[in-house]
Amino acid sequence: MPRRMVVKSLRTVGRCLPSGIRRRVRSVARRAGVPLPADYWWLMHETGRVGRLASGGPKRCNICGWSGETFLGVAHVESAICPVCSSSGRDRFLLWCAGRDDAVTLRSTRVLETSPRLGADYRAMMRHHFKYRASDYDQSAHRGDIRIDLQRIELPDASIDLLLTPHVLEHVPDTATALAEIHRVLAPNGRMYLQVPMVRGKTSAPTEPEFHADNTPVFWNFGWDLTGMLRTAGFETQVLVTAGFARLLTGETEPPPPDPHDFDVADLIKHVPIGDYTIAADDGEADAMGWLPPYQFATWECIRR
Ligand SMILES: [Zn+2]
């Protein structure tokens, strides 16, 4: 039976079992190397405060398993903070997107994450599930397992199965060299899940010096045309969005009024390439996970062929 079908059957059976038994079955299945539904990976981490399942309300965190009435902060890609693990909306969307690939449920998956925003608890959880390493270029906030310059990655060819790279590429001067290096270190059929802040439709360099919170300079403000750069580098790629974002892009819903200090939604709609995006979360999922407003959430899924 194909692995995708095994995962689907497990998910169906798993939902019918009481949670205590479900946890035990998962633990045995994991040791036996059976691929498990990615949505539940955090349930397998039962030590410490990260990974405990609570059923406290309609909002939920796919990183630590918290659920409750409301996230902290405002509805924004950098906010909607989980009160337990401090994940932001984009942290949760990145792992949700990566969870589309059944391979990430395997303990043997070699995962590299560049500059994860979350600290020790998150990294320990990832290490518990995968062969996980975090890299930090600027080590003032966190000390990563390795230090990596994406333009010259000191790792062997084909040594990574899954690369998570949230909000890093915009800080790298030479995009083409960085993408070539990523392509080199990914194993055949390996994947990268890539997020950049996309506030306008087309890529441009900042007109005046721009820095993000950790004082790292921004070299590029990427738009939809990043997809073409990824394809030139040899990736099969599409942009994963929420159903709400897709409705804005197709004109089914009206864009919000322009805000000069925030996302230029009209420009995002104007430049969207037809057929280059895929819906990865429906309205119920986006509401539960805090992925609002919808136009702020996009992740490039890149497969190395
Ligand atoms: Zn959480």
- pLDDT band, residue 297 (cuts 50/70/90): very high
**CA 127 to ligand 1 centroid distance, Å:** 16
Output the CA 84–ligand 1 centroid distance in Å.
5
227: Cβ contacts below 8 Å, ≥ 6 apart = 237, 238, 239, 273, 276, 300
55 domain-assigned = no
Local structure of 7: helix, strand or coil? helix
Query: Residue 45 pLDDT more than 50?
Result: no
Query: What average pLDDT does the chain have?
Result: 85
Query: Would 52 be classed as within a structural domain?
Result: no
Q: Do the domain assignments include residue 35?
A: no
SS (H, E, C) 94-150: HHHHHCCCHHHHCCCCEEEEECCCCCHHHHHHHHHHCEEEEECCCCCCCCCCECCEC
β-pairing, 59-60 vs 67-68, is: antiparallel
Residue 92 CA to ligand 1 center (angstroms) comes to: 8
What's the 50 CA to ligand 1 centre distance in angstroms?
Answer: 7
Q: How far is the CA of 65 from the centre of ligand 1 (A)?
A: 6
Identify the helix (H) or strand (E) that includes residue 203: none
CA of 154 to the centre of ligand 1 (A): 32
In a domain, 98, yes or no: yes
How far does residue 117's CA lie from ligand 1's centre (Å)? 13
Cα of 49 vs centre of ligand 1, distance in Å, is: 10
Domain count, the chain: 1
CA of 63 to the centre of ligand 1 (A): 5
Residue 113 Cα, ligand 1 centroid: separation in angstroms?
A: 18
> Mean pLDDT over residues 204-217, rounded?
81
pLDDT band at 91; cut points 50, 70, 90: very high
Cα of 207 to ligand 1 centre, how many Å? Answer: 36
Please provide the size of the chain in residues: 305
Ligand 1 centroid vs 109 CA: distance in angstroms? 22
Q: Measured in angstroms, how far is the CA atom of residue 291 from the centroid of ligand 1?
A: 14
Which tens digit of pLDDT belongs to each residue from 48-70?
434 445 567 889 888 888 888 99
Span from the CA of 119 to the centroid of ligand 1 (angstroms): 12
Task: Supply the DSSP symbol for 73.
Answer: S
Establish if 20 belongs to a structural domain. no
* Gap from CA of 240 to ligand 1 centroid (Å): 21
User: Does residue 236 sit within a domain?
Assistant: yes
| Mode of pairing for the β-strands spanning 110-114 and 160-166 | parallel
Domain encompassing residue 82: 71-304
CA distance 218 to 77: 18
pTM of the model: 0.85
Q: Which helix (H) or strand (E) holds 195?
A: strand 186-195
Taking the centre of ligand 1 as the mean of its atom positions, its distance from the CA of residue 167, in whole angstroms, is 19
CA of residue 68 to ligand 1 center, whole Å: 10
115 C-alpha to ligand 1 centroid (Å): 18
For 103-161, how does the pLDDT look when each residue is reduced to its tens digit (9 = 90+)? 666 778 899 999 999 988 899 888 888 899 999 766 666 667 788 899 999 999 999 99
pLDDT attached to residue 67: 84
For residue 285, how far is its CA from the centre of ligand 1 (angstroms)? 15
CA of 81 to the centre of ligand 1 (A): 8
Query: Strands 277-281 and 235-242, how do they pair?
Result: parallel
71 CA distance to ligand 1 middle (Å): 10
* Domain contains 198: yes
Q: What is the CATH number of the domain that holds 192?
A: 3.40.50.150
Sign of CA pseudo-dihedral 71, 46, 283, 256 = positive
Does residue 184 fall inside a structural domain? Answer: yes
Q: What are 210's two structure tokens?
A: 């721009």
